Structure 1
């Protein structure tokens, strides 16, 4: 029997993805404004043209025939105007691998030596970069154009940040110069390595070693432990024999914990600075719930979410389509009403090693890295934070019944300002220039603005979730005008509804079938 192929879904269709964000574009800007802004980016640099000469930029503008004085904008198709362009060929690329938490010696004697090494991640990311440009532009990047960095170090999250930072700054490594000279910096991190990478890059931005205004930077977070592991694992026998580094991971379940506030502040910092994040969860992950892997508490157009499904576990049925549809909602900046939180328990693998090991198979899959590269070179999403807030506010003030779901990622009552994210006691080792962080001003306003990142205080569910929330959640999704009026999302919703009628669930999925009955209201 032919082995089933592994999948990383949803696939990034850049034009449709941009179209799905139309609801959050500022209504005050005309097509002429967008047209003018694009011309200015071409003429004066930025985006794909940031490293071209003035003559090249002028040539691009002429070739596009952007004559603002004579152009009739009344019938201009904005999708055509903002259609993605092929990426510019990078000259210097740095790929960085950051491994996750490695179990202690005692547990390693049982489970074997970990295979998720930093070197492997860097090598696979480099391969993905080369394949991307070979496939999209028929270009073979020269060997000297990509530098590979493997950052190694164990311990608690902040200890690892310090260790990895020291490795980069070590004069004989040449890492700091390579990063500064690069026009593209890509990171592949796994599990505990995800918060480590985000906090490390927030620090590098503050120090001026990373400058997203002239560099393309993307963090691929694989099975990232952003909101902690499954909370019930805290009482596991495995954890009782492990070190503080493993037990610290459960602090991420609590949004008020010091390490969580530091990490979430760092996420806001890197997003506000212009760094992109591609977060990929795994089907049957035995350690990290899907909501944790895909940054459930954050909403921003620079985040792309996906799930890796091992071919052995995939059947193109209702549940897999529903999970991917919920990810599409989040990728469009819309609320899934907490659906991914309620589905995560149905997607958990076995922590004692039976069946598919989703937490590890995710970093073996080439397509995981390919998605990170695609997202790195995708064009920015036209986006208005104010428009998004206004749309959400009008929906929540409507006469429709409210369910007050505590896991709705866009519920205004759960929204926290960026000031709440500022760590209580920042690193005193952070240098003063260029942003002068200090104990009184730990993060520059430039890096931490309340108008850039929509963030909610998310507490991981400790007890078994009440399944009776699901009918409310599904009723809200299928009757949300921002969903069914969205030309990109509506066909996927129709497909989910169709598959629900043909679904023949087994085991614990049987109870899920009854809770999702409101889908029939759209038939």
Structure 2
């Protein structure tokens, strides 16, 4: 994150001296609430860190996997205890951004719960992650309250999923059930996996819709299982080695959309109930795609209409080879004309 910040400032003709940046590596294992307490004590036990956090003009928090709910709850606690300055009438109000990489916001893939490898290595903390699959569990409710505090305080949240993540679904990493204008959603695609095909463009388009405040009609949920990586792959970990991911979070914080007003940035998030399913209804995908098309046409947004037309061309040209992706193409055939 520090290197990304240097790159960003350099591109804008600015420079920060080493003394102007304080890096605070908070580390500790355990369940989410235990980690929140442990990391909080680590911070307040170091006066230099505590002072740096309170006095900073810019606060950047980088998190990964279980660190996402942990960090959101940690930042919420700092806000409540006055360690962070978020009041609009404070002339020294801080800009605060959280980067959530492959965050387990709606739990891991449901099918992993019975996986032999996962059970073999499963610790108490790993088992807790499956509780995030249901928004009515105690820890999920705690997390929702943390998100409410953080987002309504003007914190910018950048959620980046890893395309071939073998642990965290796309819908989980981008917090699909949570709606707020200060959430920016994106996907990281390793260069070796990138193809400019229909599926990749549909995912990017769905994320663009969410960033514009348009419902994706469940498309991201229904695509998540198809793009799941191998349990022996590295998609879950390679995301935090890409500097562009960090740059995105910095740009999201320092270059917000022109139409994002202070009232919007500090509004209460809309939190829809969520419960991950072991098996999805395959007939839902074409209806979701049709819902997107109908909504965009009703809005009359020419940019999005052109994107739909481009998706149709890509769909016609798309020749998937894997069973899962062939199934996606087959399911979408009824709405081919609607695209």
Normalising to structure 2: TM-score of the pair? Answer: 0.93
Q: Is 1:169 equivalent to 2:44 in the alignment?
A: yes
Aligned to 1:366: 243
Go from structure 1 to structure 2 and tell me whether the alpha carbon gap of 1:271 and 1:190 turns closer, same or farther (over 3 Å shift): same
Aligned to 2:20: 145
| Greater radius of gyration (CA) | 1
Aligned to 1:187: 61
Aligned to 2:70: 196
Paired residues of 2:297 and 2:305 also in contact (CA < 8 A) = no
Q: Is 1:233 equivalent to 2:112 in the alignment?
A: yes
What's the offset of the Cα at 1:253? 0.5
Unaligned runs of 5+ in 2: none
**Greater helix share, structure number:** 2
Q: Which moved more, 1:470-479 or 1:235-244?
A: 235-244
Q: Distance in 1 between matches of 2:262 and 2:137?
A: 27
Structure 2 residue aligned with 1:206, among 68, 75, 80? 80
SS at match of 2:165: coil
Structure 2 residue aligned with 1:154, among 29, 39, 54? 29
What's the offset of the Cα at 1:284? 1.0
Aligned to 2:206: 326
Paired residues of 2:99 and 2:158 also in contact (CA < 8 A) = yes
Aligned to 1:346: 226
Go from structure 1 to structure 2 and tell me whether the alpha carbon gap of 1:385 and 1:149 turns closer, same or farther (over 3 Å shift): closer
SS at match of 2:22: strand
Aligned counterparts, 1:61-460, within 5 A: 125-135=1-11, 137-170=12-45, 172-212=46-86, 213=88, 214-241=93-120, 242-351=122-231, 353=232, 356-379=233-256, 382=259, 452-460=268-276
Q: Is 1:478 equivalent to 2:293 in the alignment?
A: yes
Cα RMSD (Å): 2.0
Paired residues of 2:296 and 2:304 also in contact (CA < 8 A) = no
Paired residues of 2:105 and 2:132 also in contact (CA < 8 A) = yes
Go from structure 1 to structure 2 and tell me whether the alpha carbon gap of 1:384 and 1:373 turns closer, same or farther (over 3 Å shift): closer
Go from structure 1 to structure 2 and tell me whether the alpha carbon gap of 1:139 and 1:519 turns closer, same or farther (over 3 Å shift): farther
Normalising to structure 1: TM-score of the pair? Answer: 0.61
Go from structure 1 to structure 2 and tell me whether the alpha carbon gap of 1:271 and 1:381 turns closer, same or farther (over 3 Å shift): farther
Aligned to 1:115: none
Q: Is 1:465 equivalent to 2:280 in the alignment?
A: yes
Q: Distance in 2 between matches of 1:285 and 1:324?
A: 16
Q: Distance in 2 between matches of 1:366 and 1:217?
A: 19
Paired residues of 1:477 and 1:483 also in contact (CA < 8 A) = no
What's the offset of the Cα at 1:473? 0.9
Stretches of 4+ moved more than 6 A in 1?
none
Aligned to 1:75: none
Please list the CA deviations of residues 289-337 of structure 1 after superposition, one character each: whole Å capped at 9, or x if unmatched.
0000001111111000000001111111000000000000110111000
Q: Is 1:491 equivalent to 2:306 in the alignment?
A: yes
Paired residues of 1:289 and 1:345 also in contact (CA < 8 A) = yes
Q: Distance in 2 between matches of 1:384 and 1:187?
A: 23
Go from structure 1 to structure 2 and tell me whether the alpha carbon gap of 1:493 and 1:483 turns closer, same or farther (over 3 Å shift): farther
Q: Distance in 2 between matches of 1:215 and 1:380?
A: 18
What's the offset of the Cα at 1:470? 1.2
Give the length in aligned residue pairs.
331
Paired residues of 2:177 and 2:274 also in contact (CA < 8 A) = yes
Unaligned runs of 5+ in 1: 1-124, 389-448
